């Protein structure tokens, strides 16, 4: 009787001892995962493979703008869906091309010129940005953006769940962009100026 | 024992780091079905908010002299990101406020504003919790461990992110502003030896001009998006109502006849792209309200020039001249007041608003009944004006702000 009970008692003892430890480890691991996932990260030393990525074809109006004013000194693009007839989504590419030294900003919606505004020109020596609007297309993934922009490093900041679940902002060489669910939703170039 | 413990700790941290990166990069998260404009706007706000915090941190570090306290205050005060949900709520709230009561989009914007105000509260609470957590000993220890270990993991974790050979470093909160600045200026920082001067972000120049890039510059920049959004909502409402009507009619027809005749319906109203930069001038007359109308008016004009897409400042001028009776001397003398108006036009709400300067001149009688001339005062007096465009007619009013800040409505006007 005692011989048969002993292993069971030992097993029960071990279970009582090990189970809380295992649970504690799992809880700790979960917490650690949560914390590390929320931490910003810098990725450097990227050697992006040379591969074909989709490009946006400039519309006629955009080509005319380039012919008149040149490529923008800075540009911002927002990608989102609009609901069309029968509830089908249509991808919208909302672009703002900024010519700070000329004091002009042009807005395009899906390549169609939607607005042109003027501002007082900035008298600064802008360093040319190495990007062009057509390099970026809607909902690219991270590897696509890295490849298109030929990035070698970036810093990624995850956004709070309450603000935008699965949202991340990225900062790279004269560039910032935002991704949600692994898709490019916002991109803006950040020109530099050479100051005396 | 000690070696085994270190090895076990190493493996544990490796697993944590690798899984953390995977979760952080959302490699396995499914894409949502609706890619909303709000998500794109929030990402834009979050990016700029982070840059603003990084720029502020830079200024605080450098103790740069010569910048205004208010500007520094706006950047350095927090050193943290803004509440982007609240910014978006304010944008929607401002849009809703501008719309007339009967506008079909107003309620949608009010609802959006409310939704984001609620989100903003929740976000504040989450950030407070995060802040408290960051201040705990364990979190700090853990962050440092992950950071140190992440460097050790090096290329393995880089591969886990999809970039073979890349090195991943975890960044603790305190380092983030410097990392962001370094990321943006990175390439040029490395070669700045060839540059003649210092390389800085142009963003700082925007901040110098607009004071608040997020509230000023960015809001203006995405204005066409909101116009387009309103067109879409109104267009969709019409289409939805059209579809419902169509369905109801089809049902009615189906009950009457087995083979209903297809009914030709007008095409759905499509959203029109906003008009582009047409400059319009409208002229009209004023009606004196807080202004003595005199015996008879000799001049009564108002002219307003605006761009119909609202992208250019509104300019205007007006004049009311009349003959006034000086009772004590029984003399009829001329006097006039003129206004220079500047302001803006919002094509969404079709409202004008702005400021003005009022200039007066004329003839008066002295106590001996001699007549003197009062020249136009050079500085004028300040005031405000507002108007609304209704059926092609600008209807508005001009208000003079008197000494002590007391507003006095001078005239109402109509220009067509």
Q: What percent of chain A has pLDDT over 70?
A: 95
Report the pLDDT value the prediction gives residue B44, as an integer from 0 to 100.
96
Report the pLDDT value the prediction gives residue B154, as an integer from 0 to 100.
55
pLDDT-wise least confident of A174-178, A181-185, B33-37, B57-61: B57-61
Whether residue B93 is predicted with pLDDT greater than 80 in this model: the reply is yes
Average pLDDT rounded to a whole number, residues B183-206: 72
CA distance A76 to A78: 7
> What is the ipTM score, two decimals?
0.89
**Cβ–Cβ under 8 Å, residues A116 and A105:** yes
pLDDT, mean over chain B: 72
Please spell the DSSP secondary structure of A110-159, one letter per residue. TTEEEEEEE-PPP---EEPPS--GGG--TT--HHHHHHHHT-S-EEEEEP
pLDDT-wise least confident of A161-170, B142-151, B267-276, B403-412: B267-276
Best B37, B40, B188 residue to mutate vs chain A (most A CBs within 10 Å): B40
Report the pLDDT value the prediction gives residue B73, as an integer from 0 to 100.
38
Whether residue B65 is predicted with pLDDT greater than 80 in this model: the reply is no
Q: What percent of chain B has pLDDT over 70?
A: 65
Q: Which residues of A touch B163 (CB under 8 A)?
A: 43, 46-48, 143, 146
Q: Which residues of B touch A151 (CB under 8 A)?
A: none
**B182: closest CA of chain A, how far (Å):** 8
Report the pLDDT value the prediction gives residue B114, as an integer from 0 to 100.
92
Q: What percent of chain B has pLDDT over 90?
A: 12
User: pLDDT digit string (tens) for B306-362?
Assistant: 888 888 889 888 988 888 888 778 888 888 888 989 899 988 888 999 988 888 888
Report the pLDDT value the prediction gives residue B151, as an integer from 0 to 100.
60
Task: Answer whether A40 sits within 8 Å of B170, measured CB to CB.
Answer: yes
Q: How confident is the model at residue B4 (pLDDT cuts 50, 70, 90)?
A: low
Q: Which residues of A touch B180 (CB under 8 A)?
A: 155, 157, 171
Please spell the DSSP secondary structure of B216-285, one letter per residue. IIHHHHTHHHHHHHHHHHHHHHHHHHHHHHHHHHHHHHHHH-SSPPPPP-PPPPPPPPPP---EEEEEEE
Report the pLDDT value the prediction gives residue B259, as an integer from 0 to 100.
32
Report the pLDDT value the prediction gives residue B146, as an integer from 0 to 100.
66
Q: Least CB-CB distance to B47: which of A33, A81, A169?
A: A169
Most confident of A1-15, A139-153, B137-151: A139-153
Task: Answer whether B122 sits within 8 Å of A146, measured CB to CB.
Answer: no
Please state, in angstroms and as integers, the Cα–Cα distance from residue A45 to each residue in A42, A150, B23, B168, following that order. Answer: 10, 12, 21, 9
The conformational region for residue A160 under phi > 0 = left, psi -120 to 50 = alpha, else beta, is beta
Most confident of B121-135, B196-210, B395-409: B121-135
Whether residue A74 is predicted with pLDDT greater than 50 in this model: the reply is yes
- Look up the pTM and report it: 0.62
CA distance B335 to B319: 11
Task: Answer whether B224 sits within 8 Å of A107, measured CB to CB.
Answer: yes
pLDDT, mean over chain A: 88
Surface of A (152-171) touching B: CB under 8 A: 153-164, 166-169, 171
CA distance B177 to B58: 8
Report the pLDDT value the prediction gives residue B102, as an integer from 0 to 100.
74
Whether residue B68 is predicted with pLDDT greater than 50 in this model: the reply is no
Residue of B nearest to A109 (CA): B225
Residue of A nearest to B39 (CA): A164
User: pLDDT digit string (tens) for A101-139?
Assistant: 999 999 999 999 988 888 889 988 888 899 999 999 999
CB pairs under 8 A between A and B: 303
Whether residue B140 is predicted with pLDDT greater than 80 in this model: the reply is no
Please state, in angstroms and as integers, the Cα–Cα distance from residue B32 to each residue in A138, A167, B182, following that order. Answer: 14, 12, 33
Report the pLDDT value the prediction gives residue B59, as an integer from 0 to 100.
47
User: pLDDT digit string (tens) for A22-37?
Assistant: 888 888 777 777 777 7
Report the pLDDT value the prediction gives residue B156, as an integer from 0 to 100.
53
């Amino acid at each position: 009787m005692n011989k048969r009970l002993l292993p069971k008692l030992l097993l029960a003892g071990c279970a009582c001892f090990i189970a809380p430890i295992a649970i504690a480890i799992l809880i700790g691991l979960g917490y650690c995962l949560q914390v590390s996932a929320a931490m910003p990260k810098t990725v450097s030393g990227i050697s992006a493979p040379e591969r074909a990525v989709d490009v946006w074809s400039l519309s006629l109006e955009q080509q005319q703008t380039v012919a008149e004013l040149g490529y923008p000194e800075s540009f911002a693009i927002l990608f989102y869906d609009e609901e069309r007839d029968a509830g089908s989504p249509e991808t919208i590419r909302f672009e703002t091309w900024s010519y700070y030294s000329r004091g002009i900003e042009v807005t395009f919606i899906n390549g169609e010129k939607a607005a042109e505004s003027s501002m007082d020109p900035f008298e600064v020596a802008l360093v040319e940005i190495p990007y062009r609007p057509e390099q970026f297309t809607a909902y690219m993934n991270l590897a696509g953006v890295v490849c298109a922009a030929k990035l070698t490093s970036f810093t990624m900041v995850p956004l709070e769940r309450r603000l935008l679940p699965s949202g991340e902002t990225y900062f790279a060489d004269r560039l910032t962009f935002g991704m949600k669910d692994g898709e490019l939703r916002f991109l803006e170039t950040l020109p530099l100026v050479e100051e005396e | 024992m000690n070696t085994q413990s270190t090895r076990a700790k190493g493996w544990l941290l490796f697993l944590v780091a690798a899984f953390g990166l995977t979760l952080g990069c959302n490699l396995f998260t499914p894409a949502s079905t609706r890619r909303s404009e709000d998500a794109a706007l929030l990402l834009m706000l979050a990016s700029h908010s982070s840059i603003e915090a990084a720029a502020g941190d830079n200024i605080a570090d450098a103790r740069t002299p010569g910048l205004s306290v208010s500007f520094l205050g706006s950047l350095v005060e927090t050193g943290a990101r803004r509440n982007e949900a609240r910014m978006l709520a304010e944008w929607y709230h401002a849009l809703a406020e501008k719309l007339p009561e009967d506008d079909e989009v107003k309620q949608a914007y009010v609802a959006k504003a409310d939704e984001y105000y609620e989100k903003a509260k929740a976000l504040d609470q989450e950030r407070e919790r995060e802040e408290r957590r960051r201040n705990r000993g364990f979190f700090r220890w853990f962050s440092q461990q992950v950071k140190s270990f992440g460097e050790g993991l090096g290329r393995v974790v880089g591969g886990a992110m999809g970039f073979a050979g890349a090195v991943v470093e975890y960044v603790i909160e305190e380092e983030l502003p410097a990392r962001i600045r370094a990321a943006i200026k990175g390439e040029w920082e490395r070669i700045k030896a060839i540059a003649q001067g210092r390389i800085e972000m142009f963003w700082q120049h925007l901040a110098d001009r607009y004071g608040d890039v997020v509230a000023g510059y960015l809001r203006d920049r995405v204005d066409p998006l909101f116009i387009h959004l309103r067109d879409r909502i109104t267009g969709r409402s019409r289409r939805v109502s059209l579809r419902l009507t169509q369905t109801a009619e089809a049902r009615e027809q189906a009950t009457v006849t087995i083979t209903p005749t297809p009914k030709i319906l007008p095409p759905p109203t499509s959203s029109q792209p906003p008009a582009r930069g047409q400059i319009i001038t409208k002229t009209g007359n004023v009606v004196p309200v807080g202004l003595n109308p005199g015996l008879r008016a000799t001049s009564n004009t108002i002219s307003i020039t605006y761009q119909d897409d609202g992208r250019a400042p509104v300019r205007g001028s007006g004049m009311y001249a009349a003959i006034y009776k000086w009772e004590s001397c029984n003399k009829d003398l001329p006097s006039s007041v003129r206004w220079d108006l500047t302001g803006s036009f919002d094509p969404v709400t079709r409202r004008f608003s702005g400021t003005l300067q009022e200039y007066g001149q004329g003839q008066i009688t002295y106590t001996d009944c001699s007549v003197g001339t009062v020249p136009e005062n050079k500085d004028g007096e300040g005031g405000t004006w507002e108007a609304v465009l209704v059926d092609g007619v600008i209807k508005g009013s001009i208000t003079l702000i008197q000494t002590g800040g007391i507003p006095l409505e001078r005239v109402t006007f109509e220009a067509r």
